[in-house]
Every structure is written in structure tokens, then in C-alpha cells.
Structure 1
Amino acid sequence: MIAAQQTSTWLRRYRPVDQPRVRLVCFAHAGGGPSAFRTWPASLPSDVEVLVVRYPGRQDRVAEPCLERMEPMVEAVTEALTPLRDRPLVLFGHSMGAWIAYEVAQRIPVRALLVSGQVPPSRRSSARPGSARRGDASAGLSDAALIEEVKRLGGYDAQLFEDPELRDLVLPPIRADFTLVQNYRAARPSLLGCPVRAFYGEDDTDSRADDVDAWAEVTTGPFTAHRFPGGHFYLADHEAALLRELFSLPEVSCA
């Protein structure tokens, strides 16, 4: 078991590295938290330090209010990352986390932006929760309907919703995140200058290849798209293959 270390209210460090060559900053999906990436460090090079963003209102920040707007989330994460810019930062965001990572990359220099299971904000009509089209529709659903939508997406243990106490614990951050997605509009359209790499599941019908390819439009740097078997949470079933792909990227594998 890899010990986690809290570096700030907003960041958790897995496997501290004295002199990291690069810091990989991970942003989870709607309703998710640091545990989504707890196994990653064991499969990454020893000089890659993994930091995971700690969204409020869940896991060990469960007593704090959730955020329902993008701006305060992004500003807080940006502030937390600013002291860590002594090493190159690579941002990886899945689903909702891809948009948060994109907004952070608008504010501080990063070596690369890695987006997963998500379309660019300009294609939000094609997206899903934690993405967008479904998120726009889901924020106002009843609890029962919201649970069905979450089950449809996958990525959660369905038994969580059978226990009333657990259900009451996990639903508020999911609903808040869907509301955040619904409220989000990209207000800073300036082009990035870093590489953008997109990852998606071939069966994720709301992240179709042509929409994912539109991430190329957000940067003047290089763009590549990487397809994997599976749906929206392809990265859970194909974690080893995804991490091998990440390690092969020049932004991660080279100094």
C-alpha cells in the first residue's frame, strides 16, 4: 500500500519524490476524489511524482461544502499548484476533471495537458456528466433518477446506493459536480501553447472520436488522440495500458 501525504487542503501526494523530474497532477471525475488514482504511482517511473486534487465535500473533505461553480475550484487549485512550479507540471483530468485541468492550464504554464473521457468545452453539446450534455440534464434530477444516471455511466459500486447512509454521503458531491458542469462555460478562450493529449474509450458514445479530436483546436502545440477498449470509465479496466501510454509520451518519459 502506497502511503498518501497531504501537501495542502487541495492536493494529496502519492509516493513523495525528493527531486521529481515531473509532477503529474490528476483531476478526478464527477463525484470522484484522490482514491481514483491511488494505484497509479506504482506503475509510473520513480522520478514522476503523482499529486491528486482533493475536491471539497467528499472523502477526507466530506465536512466541507461542495462547490457548484468552476471558477472557485480552478482558482483554489491554481493557487495550490503555484509553489510547485519548480518542477514541470503535467495535468491529467478525466471527465469533469478534464475541464478543470483545462482551466488550470489556462492560468499557469504546464508541460502538457492530458484529457480523458471528455470533449472540449466548444463541443459541450456532445458531452456527458462530468462531461456535459448529460450533466446539463442531470443536475435537476430526483435522487432516484440521478442514481440511475450514475449507474448508467459506471465507475461507481452500485451497492453504495443501496445503503441509505452511504447514499446520503455520496449523492451530494455527485449532484454538486453535475451542477458545476451545468454552470460551466469556458470564458478564457486563449490558445494553449503546450501539447494536448486526449484519451477515450471507443464505446463511450458521448465522447466520439470526431469530438475528442476537436481538442486540437485549443492549442498551438502538438495534439494526439489515444483510443482504448471500453466505455466512459475505460481507465478502470485498462489502467495498465493507459499508464504505459502515458509513460511513452515525451512530456512524461523525457526530462
Structure 2
Amino acid sequence: MNGPDPRWIRRYHRGPEAAVTLVCLAHAGGSANFFYPFSAALSRSVDVVAVQYPGRQDRHDEPQVDNLAALAAAVAEQVAVFGPRPVALFGHSMGALVGYETARLLEQAGHQPTHLFASGRRAPSTSRPEAVHRLSDNRLVAHVQELDGDAGVAEALNDPDVRAMALPALRTDYRAVETYPVTAGPPLHCPITVLTGRDDPVVSAAEAAAWQGHTLGSFECLTFPGRHFFVATHRDAVVSEIERRLVAVPTAPR
């Protein structure tokens, strides 16, 4: 592979002066364009790319991936061929788990990520049985809308045509998360910054703080106003915190 596959990796703005590439991974049912505003805000200092999962939008005709480890392996394969610029990972909700597993694979392969930002997701070590992926269509949509609050992320699900297109990927993503087996392994070496919403109904403060046990590097937990999709309702504050932690990243090859 000479470079990342454009089916997987989307770059909305070029940051030729950027010292680090930030790989963004979306929530269940989400897609790469969720991070377009992140890219626009960070492009002067950070090279932002977003992962497009199979089975949605322009990849709707490809099989969805209901195995989180397999999804992370595919992402790691793409990230490994980015080139010499240091790489950090940002994942929201399901994307935080994908980012964590991707970071583990990259470290095992000798491609040390500089940072993992885990947003809106409890630590892997705090997993608990859930079966959202088994809910009826209406109850699944209601669950997502309850998480959404006033963020507007799930607003499109009110359209019957959009709902019909989005539900298969949404259900598959929940299945991937809810069947994800946390395997014991060495903690990461890269720093982890956790971002959490103060009123997130599915992530407690203790569950967010438990990410500290997953790294030998530095750790911090940032709390923002808002619910599960605080990354949308308080995007400027989130982007500012990401940028502060990445602009000083050294430019040594991975």
C-alpha cells in the first residue's frame, strides 16, 4: 500500500504547516463528515483526517463491520502508511473504543501514536452488558435521540427515508460495541486525554476516570457542559483543548 485508501480516509482541509495528523473516529451510526467542523477549525495547526466506516453514505454498498477489533485493524492498516508525521487519535463514543484498539495495534507494530483522545465513552475496563442493538427500530431511534438532547446529531432520523438508510449501520455499530470483548493486555504508552459531558447519561465520572488504567503515559480527564454529544454543542471548547495538546507535539518520525 503506497498510501491510505481514500475510501477510508477523508481529508477536508490541507494543513501543510501542521506538525501532527489527527485521525478522527465517529460514534455509532456516524460518518467522517461529522468531523468537518473540527477540520475547518484546526487545519492551520493540525492535519485532520476522518475515517469513513464501511456501510454508510458513499460506502453504503459495502458490507458493514460488526466486529470492533476487525474495524480497528482496518483503521490501523491505513494509519500505518500515513508517513513520517506524528499521529494522534480522537474517537467519540464508539470511536473512542476504535481509537483505543487502533492505538494498541499501532504500538504493537512499532508505530507509536502521540496521543489518544477518548471522548464520550467509558473505559474498556468498565464494560457492562447492553443490548441496544436488539431494540426495535423505534426504540433504537428513541435511545439515540435521548442521547442527542439538543445537539441536533440525531435530528435527521425524523425523516423516514434517512432513518431507513441509517438504521442498518447504526444497529451494526451498536452490535460491534456491545459484543466487544475487552482482552487483557499491556496498557498504552501514549498519553490519554478523556473528554466527557457532565450530564452524559451513559458515562459516569468514575467510568471516564477509569481510562487512566489503560496507559503508562500521562492522563487527564476533561469535563464539559452538556450531554453525550457535548462535542457538537461545545465544539469550540473541545477543539481548543485538542489543539492545545497537539501543537507542541515533536516532529520526529514515528
The two structures have a TM-score, normalised by structure 2, of 0.89
Q: Which runs of 5+ in 1 are unaligned?
A: 1-5, 126-132
Structure 1 counterpart of 2:145, from 141, 151, 164:
151
Give the Cα–Cα distance (whole angstroms) in 1 for the partners of residues 195 and 239 of structure 2: 11
Count of residue correspondences: 240
Task: Indicate if the aligned counterparts of 1:194 and 1:222 stay in contact, CA closer than 8 A.
Answer: yes
Counterpart of 1:33 in structure 2 is 31
Cross-structure match for 2:121? 118
Q: More displaced, 224-233 or 201-210?
A: 201-210
Alpha carbons of 1:15 and 1:28: their partners in 2 closer, same or farther (altered >3 Å)?
same
2:220 and 2:193 map into 1 onto residues whose CA distance is 5
Deviations 1:75-97 (A, max 9, x none): 11111111114111110000000
- Is contact 2:15–2:43 with CA below 8 Å preserved after alignment? no
Q: Trace 1:12-27 onto structure 2 (pairs within 5 A).
A: 12-18=10-16, 20-27=18-25
Alpha-carbon spacing, 1:53–1:88, altered in 2? closer, same or farther (3 Å):
same
CA contact (8 A) 1:57 1:66 kept: yes
Paired residue for 2:101, among 81, 94, 103? 103
Secondary structure, aligned partner of 1:26: strand
1:177 deviates by: 0.4
Are 2:41 and 1:43 equivalent residues in the alignment? yes
Match of 2:192 among 189, 192, 196: 196
**Aligned partner of residue 29 in structure 2, secondary structure:** coil
Percent identical: 37
Equivalent-residue separation in structure 1 for 2:34 and 2:162 (angstroms): 18
How far did residue 206 of structure 1 move?
2.2
Greater alpha carbon shift after TM alignment, 78-87 vs 227-236: 78-87
Contact 2:114 2:249 in 1 (8 A): no
Contact 2:35–2:50, Cα closer than 8 Å, also in 1: yes
Match of 1:128 in 2: none
1:9 to 7, 10, 23: 7
Aligned partners of 1:235, 1:216: CA distance in 2, in Å? 21
Mapped to 2, the partners of 1:222 and 1:65 lie a distance apart of 38
CA RMSD between the two structures: 1.8
Q: 1:245 aligns to what?
A: 241
Who is 1:59 aligned against? 57
> Which amino acid is the alignment partner of residue 213 of structure 1?
A
- 1:186 aligns with 182
**Normalising by the residue count of structure 1, what TM-score does the alignment of the two structures yield?**
0.88
What is the match of residue 130 of structure 1? Answer: none
2: CA distance between counterparts of 1:81 and 1:169?
28
**Paired position in structure 1 for 2:133:** 139
Q: Deviations over 1:28-83 (max 9, x none)?
A: 00000111110112322514100101101111111112111112211111111111
Equivalent residues of 1:8, 1:80 under 8 A apart? no
1:84 alignment partner, SS class: coil
- Long gaps (5+) in structure 2: 107-111
